[in-house]
Structure 1
Amino acid sequence: MTGGDELHEVVIVGGGFSGIAMAIRLLQAGFDDFVLLERAKELGGTWRDNQYPGAACDVPAHLYSLSFEPKPDWSRAFATAPEIQRYVLEVVDRHGLRARTRVETRVSGLEYQEETGTWTIRAEGPAREEQLRARLVVVACGGLSNPAPLPIEGTAGFQGKLFHTAEWAHDLDLAGKRVGVIGTGASAIQVVPAIAERVGELSVFQRTPPWIFPRNDREFSEAERRFFTEHPRARRWLRSTIFTVTELMSLGMVWRTPLTGVLERVCHEHLARQVPDLVLREKLTPDYRLGCKRMLLSDDYYPALCRAHVSLVTEPIARIYPRGIVTRDVRGRELERELDVIIAATGFDVPVDSPPFPVVGAQGRSLHREWAAGAEAFFGVSIAGFPNLAMLMGPNTGPGHTSVLVYTEAEIERVIAMLRHLRAEGLKCMDVRPEVQARFNRGVQRRMRYTNWTSGCHSWYLTRSGKNTSLWPGFAAEYALRARRFSPADFHCER
């Protein structure tokens, strides 16, 4: 163990979009004593890992970028994963963040020291274990960083190739192969069309059909890219317009309103246009309210399923056997489907009870135990009993309709305001008042009852008990406005 006396004003855990944005804003705000810890060999987070064929963002590119680091020359309306990752690394290099970053450094635990008002960070580096101290820790691990394990019997015995979309086997040639894709969520509807032309046979295993809205993606012309580069006001207007449209869409996606029915009709018409086969169309028709699960965007998923060598399998998976997948129909009859490759498009193991390492706060409090009944925080950032700790993309700060970066930037400004108050007042620590946090979260959950997310379907938005700890039950603009109003009166402050 080394580095026990290494003290920084801030330590950021996680080098994805939110951690990088936090680092940039620290520099811009005059806080230059920080270090960023990243467990992988490179920065980028989810866009570093998710480089499967067809990977792209489902938020328009001009909104899915940092407001203080605009990119006027996006190549497409919806940026691909490689282009987003290039953008992220360009931003990193422009601000010289690599000199303040330690890659291949996995945090194994955080512990608050009440005597000094600092945090001890235990980490495993590439050559040794490290121990750092920080006045304030920002946990920016994100929710899409750990692939969800495949909860199916027999995975270890499969004789072919099996991998998650976030761990794509880039050296594997799929040409002529019999491929199975498990899942029909956001990654599946991108990867299926991307590989359909190359494979010999493709079986898509569906549990629940998603609502799919037309994507209307296209390339930007060279003239358009040049125009947005030369006219920043026009680019800002476009970004604002996209944001306004997504906010208006939330009226039908977050709550049940007449717009919900309109959006459902658009999705039904999109399905009918692209899938002429009535039997297949019926299998692809959702039986739950739009918005209860994540609504997806695609122009080529349905046509891919209509190909002669592609089949949609709706019978439940019983198990994986050495040569493929066994399904079981409603009568209990089993059918073996031989496959060369199984691709798990099963999403991510989104943390609902704590970050992926122990966090011990004041008086020995365990964050894992504190959140056992459901994660709660004040604006998703501050947690009572865990002074000088900040979360990015914490509880109830996810969007159901727009760019997550709108929320993340507001959270970052809360952290900056907290740091400024700590420094200006010479404080040892700031800890959100329990009654403030409780009142805030009662309001969040009270509003949650009226959203489409609680209308009865099963989704990763909800905990096992049915509590939504993932999303904000309202407009993104409302969250951003409220989150940026930082009040020291909401905190216990100690000198």
Structure 2
Amino acid sequence: MTDYDVVVMGAGVAGLGLGARLKARGQHDFLVLERAAEVGGTWRDNTYPGCACDVPSHLYWYSFDEEPPDWSRIYPSQGEVFARLREFAERTGVLGHVRLNTRVVAADWDEADLHWRVTTADGGTITARVFVSACGQLAEPSYRGIAGRERFTGVSFHSARWRHDVDLTGKRVACVGSGASAAQLIPEIAAVAAKLTVFQRSAPYVLPREDRPYTEAELRAFREDPEALAKSRAEQYAERERQFWALEPGSDVGRETVRIAREHLEAQVADPVLREKLWPGYAFGCKRPVISDEYLPAFTRPNVDLVTAGVAGVEPDGVRDATGALHPVDVIVYSTGFESLKFLNGLRVTGRGGTDLHEQAWRESPQAYLGMAVPGFPNFFILYGPNTNLNHNSIIAMLEAQYDYLLQAFERLGPDAPALDVRPEVVAAYNDRLQQDLARSAFATGCSSWYVGEGGRVVTNWWGTVDAYKARTARFDPAEYRTVGSPA
């Protein structure tokens, strides 16, 4: 006997959605372990000024929810998404399955009893027939390549660990980074700081956002007519799927998207010198694009400086750039992204024969079958795992495909098949083909991004539409798995 049939690690978007699907099918023998004091994942952690979703609200939600949120605007704010997730967890009953303030430090496969032993930071052990990681790709802040951070005598923090006790009004502030988070917080800081210095490693492509609140008439239509909401979602989904083709170098959609980005830049920045500093020098899609109407105009403010020379290091009273110039500041905000390539970072996972996930199975690079299953680790599944990230559509659509696949797998785990282990040759063939496809994508065109690991391997992203992933995961094929007995 095990303590639970399924243990899920992480109570963010992925984990809460799986919990709701389990309960909907009458499966209540599961536990969700959450390291923080509240559910919500990235929408709990990222509370920086201006934080919002860059996927439309109607699309950034679970399609199976029978009581979809009454979203206030086209693109939801962090606070609104977090509140909706908290309400969803309570309304669906998933919250009753969540154990907060419980950090998982290890998960070990017990070959004798065919179950997982999950160890928590307080020394407790929980056993489960199935172990699911739902901790995501963007959880651990990254500071790579920034020397001397500990020498700074002012206040500094990462955008994902925002210090709300620090008032930036009238301060000299440095923002290191110019990615998606930076694009949201830079306009907010610029409005209150005495001076804002932005250190840009490479400029992002910036596309129009055109966000606005929904009118009362629209909100009433969405409430009273489910078809109106479904139509809005379907249109947004179709347009996002079309945008996938912008990631194919040389495509017509790609050229059109670059044209839109250039026109957006020229309409918002008049200074030709500044404009060229804000224009990328790499193929569209190689990095995550920014969707904003406020980011570019922030650089036209007299109190904002853009530094493109790169950061040489941090010193006690400021940031020194690669030309040798020192920029004195009172506060440093690191908007430097996350350790996206270190899946399940800080967690020891051992499978059959004591195989270590990080040191052995993923020694060269993280990879999984369909982003979910790793050979040698029976009954272990990953949500939002390697090569399942998107650059064009809602990740929730990918998660829903994974839920469907996992629920089919769980149905196979009866007395005749107590444990399933994906076949190594299946995983190898799948990833070889996927990497061949990714090699011709914009992700692999040579820029430095959080999608790509050592040796140029694209580790995080899927290559294809969401529809293509749905088709690939629509049917769980037991022939692709071995039935595991005891001993190994």
Structure 2 length-normalised TM? 0.97
- Partner of residue 375, structure 1: 366
- Partner of residue 247, structure 1: 241
Equivalent residue runs for 1:69-88 within 5 Å: 69=65, 71-88=68-85
Q: Which of the numbers 87, 100, 104 marks the counterpart of 2:101?
A: 104
- Partner of residue 392, structure 1: 383
Render the CA deviation track for 1:271-319: whole Å, top value 9, x for unaligned: 0110000110011111111011111101011111100111111122111
- Partner of residue 3, structure 2: 7
Equivalent residue runs for 1:259-278 within 5 Å: 259-278=253-272
Q: Which of the numbers 145, 148, 167 marks the counterpart of 2:142?
A: 148
User: Which has the larger displacement, 204-213 or 369-378?
Assistant: 369-378
Q: Contact 1:19/1:140 (CA < 8 Å) preserved in 2?
A: yes
**Aligned equivalents of 1:388 and 1:254: distance in 2?**
36
3-state SS of paired residue (1:234): helix
Q: Contact 1:359/1:366 (CA < 8 Å) preserved in 2?
A: yes
Q: Which of the numbers 41, 47, 51 marks the counterpart of 2:43?
A: 47
Q: Which of the numbers 296, 300, 318 marks the counterpart of 2:312?
A: 318
3-state SS of paired residue (1:422): coil
**Aligned equivalents of 2:195 and 2:158: distance in 1?**
19
Q: Contact 2:378/2:420 (CA < 8 Å) preserved in 1?
A: yes
- Partner of residue 417, structure 1: 408
Render the CA deviation track for 1:325-360: whole Å, top value 9, x for unaligned: 11132xxxx211110110000111114455430110
Report whether the alignment pairs 1:358 with 2:355: no
- Partner of residue 325, structure 2: 335
Q: Contact 2:349/2:356 (CA < 8 Å) preserved in 1?
A: yes
Q: Which of the numbers 177, 180, 199 marks the counterpart of 1:205?
A: 199
**Aligned equivalents of 2:44 and 2:250: distance in 1?**
36
Report whether the alignment pairs 1:478 with 2:468: yes
- Partner of residue 459, structure 1: 449
Specify the code of the residue in structure 2 equivalent to 1:246: R
- Partner of residue 488, structure 1: 478
- Partner of residue 34, structure 2: 38
Report whether the alignment pairs 1:92 with 2:89: yes
Q: Contact 1:72/1:228 (CA < 8 Å) preserved in 2?
A: no
Render the CA deviation track for 1:411-452: whole Å, top value 9, x for unaligned: 1111111111113x5422011111111111111111112111
Specify the code of the residue in structure 2 equivalent to 1:99: G
- Partner of residue 118, structure 2: 121
Q: Contact 1:116/1:428 (CA < 8 Å) preserved in 2?
A: no
Q: Which of the numbers 260, 273, 295 marks the counterpart of 1:301?
A: 295
Specify the code of the residue in structure 1 equivalent to 2:195: E
Structure 1 length-normalised TM? 0.95
Structure 2 unaligned spans of 5+: none
Q: Contact 2:141/2:337 (CA < 8 Å) preserved in 1?
A: yes
Q: Contact 1:56/1:80 (CA < 8 Å) preserved in 2?
A: yes
RMSD: 1.3
Q: 1:253 deviation in Å?
A: 2.4
Q: Tell me the number of residue pairs that the alignment of Structure 1 and Structure 2 aligns.
A: 483
- Partner of residue 183, structure 2: 189
Specify the code of the residue in structure 1 equivalent to 2:396: L
Q: Contact 2:340/2:451 (CA < 8 Å) preserved in 1?
A: no
Q: 1:6 deviation in Å?
A: 5.8
Q: Contact 1:254/1:453 (CA < 8 Å) preserved in 2?
A: no
Report whether the alignment pairs 1:220 with 2:210: no
**Aligned equivalents of 1:318 and 1:376: distance in 2?**
34
- Partner of residue 227, structure 2: 233
Specify the code of the residue in structure 2 equivalent to 1:195: I
Specify the code of the residue in structure 2 equivalent to 1:278: P
